[in-house]
């Protein structure tokens, strides 16, 4: 079982829609959690860190459920520019390497 699993999508949504992505992780001792965004043929870039209490940044909300070992990302009022692949990233306890999910593809259409 891969350590970080995501629904690959693609998610096709109209502008203005709300879309949610989920991600599950296998290592219950994982300590750090992130959502990254990757545009086509570009490097991954941090979208937001995910804290136990949940956090919000504008239209984006991230939540962590340690008991069920999943992370979510909610995007409200989707924009065309939100079209990208969203990567769920987990750092296991004691480990150095960030473990990446395979990504969820989002396409926002006019």
Q: Determine the interface stretch with other proteins among 14-22, 60-68, 72-80, 94-102 (rule: CB under 8 A).
A: 94-102
Q: What is the closest distance, in whole angstroms, from the C-beta atom of residue 13 to other proteins in the complex?
A: 23
Provide the mask over 20-59, with x wherever binding to other proteins is found by CB under 8 A and - wherever it is not: -----------xx-x-------xxxxx--x----------
Q: Which of 51, 71, 74 is nearest to 61 (CA)?
A: 74
Q: Of these, 103, 104, 106, 108, which contacts other proteins (CB under 8 A)?
A: 103
- Does 100 engage in binding with other proteins (CB under 8 A)? yes
With contacts defined by CB under 8 A, how many residues of the chain interact with other proteins?
20
Q: What is the closest distance, in whole angstroms, from the C-beta atom of residue 102 to other proteins in the complex?
A: 4
Q: Which of 73, 107, 79 is nearest to 15 (CA)?
A: 79
Length of the chain, please?
Answer: 110
Residue that the structure tokens 């008991």 belong to: 67
Q: What is the sign of the dihedral through the CA atoms of 99, 105, 45 and 20?
A: negative
In this structure, what DSSP letter does residue 26 have? S
Residues that bind other proteins (CB under 8 A): 31-32, 34, 42-46, 49, 87, 91, 95-103
């Amino acid at each position: 079982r891969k350590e970080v699993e995501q629904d690959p999508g693609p998610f096709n949504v109209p502008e203005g829609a709300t879309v949610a992505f989920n991600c599950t992780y296998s290592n219950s001792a994982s300590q750090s959690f992130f959502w990254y965004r990757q545009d086509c043929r570009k490097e991954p870039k941090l979208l937001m860190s995910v804290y136990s209490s949940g956090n919000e940044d504008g239209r984006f909300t991230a939540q962590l459920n340690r008991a069920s070992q999943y992370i979510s990302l909610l995007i409200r009022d989707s924009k065309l520019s939100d079209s990208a692949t969203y990567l769920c990233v987990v750092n296991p306890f004691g480990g150095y390497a960030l473990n990446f999910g395979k990504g969820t593809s989002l396409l926002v259409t006019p």
